[in-house]
């Protein structure tokens, strides 16, 4: 018999540590290779570590909520060859809660693992999963409907105060991290926000004309975020001093353009997946990577490195009906652009034959920037530059 020391693996160039969220096995449990052992969190992304060997979980070296460094041993496993085959039948029921033979049969038929069963909310007695619960879960899964992740072990703790009038809800881990980042950003950066209005009529009409054919031919939904990203990238190339960070009294100018997309999650939290080297993609490439990142962000499937290294961030506040706002800079970046709701407006249209009044699709851009290193001229000109690229968008673009 020998021991295997399980290290916390490397999870990205800038990720040095992770928080233990919960152990999926108990000490003394048999595990086989690829069984999930522990759930961890790095910044805002949760992920799971599986066992690289067959054996027994002898000792956990870190408790939930403790922080481990990359390379630290987090568990000790006892390995012996006989464990690999003899002690690993298909798991049919949980020691945590009972699963009926019918539910186990349905789960096995649908390829639902034991750990996946543990994430399904049960409406039966003592949180048991009913036939109705598992068929509802299968329907949601097959139709790619995103719902907030259910967690029986870390449910929100609430206390009813004064019986009726107050309720105290404990912040979850992601909300606490977001709160810390927002306060830190406000304390670090001197926030200023400039507002610009842009005419996006050509873009709206272009999308309406080709969106159905595009989705039929590619399987991808044609969203306007790809156009916004393309125009922001062009503006950064024109005004590269927006694409910087600050270290003490030094300004660090970034050669790469990595665009973060502030994304609201189903549970109300926020995450920022990053398009690495966004300037290397054409419009179709941007559409594909944006759709993929946002889809996986909302289903908690991002890799830790996919939320790291952004150099400029875009927030689509128009998606929840807002016209403009004052977004908070995502540190260590120095600027962020909020895109408002597209509205139809009566506008004066200049033509060679004189001015006309017509209905146009308009949008507000809100550009927050760090006044320590970006003056109003640069910050305001950047927002205007993005607006001009939006207005000059080639509506004959073939994709």
Active site residues: 371, 375
Beta bridge partners of 263: 271
| Ordered DSSP codes for 222-264 | --THHHHHHHHHHHHHHSGGGSEEEETTEEEE-SS--EEEEEE
> What number of helices (H) and strands (E) belong to the chain?
9, 20
Q: Are 374 and 240 in contact (CB under 8 A)?
A: no
SS (HEC) of 176-207: HHHHHHHHHHHHHCCEEEEEEEEECHHHHHHH
Instruction: Produce one character per residue of 287-303: b if its CB has 16 or more CB atoms within 10 Å, e if not.
Output: bebbbebbbebbebebe
Q: Are 242 and 369 in contact (CB under 8 A)?
A: yes
Q: Are 399 and 284 in contact (CB under 8 A)?
A: yes
Q: CA-CA distance, 341 to 396, in Å (whole number)?
A: 24
Can you list the positions of beta strands (E) in 112-201?
A: 158-161, 166-169, 191-199
By three-state DSSP, how is residue 131 classified? helix
Q: CA-CA distance, 301 to 304, in Å (whole number)?
A: 9
If residue 295 lies in a helix (H) or strand (E), which one and from where to where? helix 283-298
**End-to-end alpha carbon distance in the chain:** 60
- From residue 240, give the alpha-carbon distance in Å to each of 234, 243, 338, 373, 385: 10, 5, 19, 13, 12
How many residues comprise the chain?
Answer: 399
**Cα angle 56, 60, 62; round to 5:** 160
Beta bridge partners of 194: 367
């Amino acid at each position: 018999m020998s021991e295997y020391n399980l290290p916390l693996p490397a999870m990205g160039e800038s990720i040095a540590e992770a928080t233990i969220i919960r152990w999926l096995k108990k000490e003394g449990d048999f595990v086989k290779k690829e069984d999930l052992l522990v759930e961890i969190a790095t910044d805002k992304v949760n992920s799971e570590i599986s066992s690289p060997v067959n054996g027994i979980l002898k000792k956990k070296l870190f408790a939930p909520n403790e922080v481990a460094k990359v390379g630290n041993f987090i568990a000790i496993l006892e390995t012996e060859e006989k464990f690999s085959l003899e002690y690993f039948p298909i798991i049919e029921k949980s020691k945590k809660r009972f699963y009926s033979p019918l539910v186990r049969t349905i789960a096995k038929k649908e390829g639902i693992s034991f750990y996946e069963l543990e994430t399904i909310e049960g409406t039966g007695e003592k949180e048991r999963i009913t036939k109705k619960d598992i068929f509802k879960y299968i329907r949601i899964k097959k139709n790619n409907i995103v719902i907030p992740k259910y967690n029986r072990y870390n449910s929100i703790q609430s206390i009813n105060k004064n019986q009726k009038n107050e309720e105290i809800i404990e912040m979850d881990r992601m909300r606490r991290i977001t709160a810390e980042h927002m306060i830190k950003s406000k304390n670090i950066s001197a926030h200023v926000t400039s507002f610009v209005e842009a005419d996006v009529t050509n873009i709206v009409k272009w999308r309406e004309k080709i969106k159905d054919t595009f989705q039929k031919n590619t399987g991808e939904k044609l969203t306007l975020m790809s156009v916004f990203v393309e125009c922001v990238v062009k503006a950064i190339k024109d005004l590269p001093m927006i694409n910087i960070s600050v270290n003490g009294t030094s300004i660090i100018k970034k050669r790469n353009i990595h665009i973060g997309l502030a994304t609201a999650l189903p549970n109300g939290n926020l995450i920022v997946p990053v398009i690495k080297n966004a300037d290397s993609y054409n419009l179709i490439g941007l559409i594909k990577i944006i759709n993929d990142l946002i889809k996986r962000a909302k289903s908690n499937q991002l890799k830790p490195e996919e939320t790291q290294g952004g150099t400029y961030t875009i927030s689509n506040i128009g998606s929840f009906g807002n016209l403009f706002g004052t977004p908070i800079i995502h540190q260590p970046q120095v600027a962020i652009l909020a895109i408002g709701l597209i509205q139809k407006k009566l506008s004066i249209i200049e033509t060679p034959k004189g001015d006309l009044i017509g209905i146009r699709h308009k949008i507000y851009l809100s550009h927050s920037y760090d006044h320590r290193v970006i003056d109003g001229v640069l910050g305001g000109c950047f927002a205007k530059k993005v607006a001009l690229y939006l207005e000059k968008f080639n509506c004959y673009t073939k994709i």
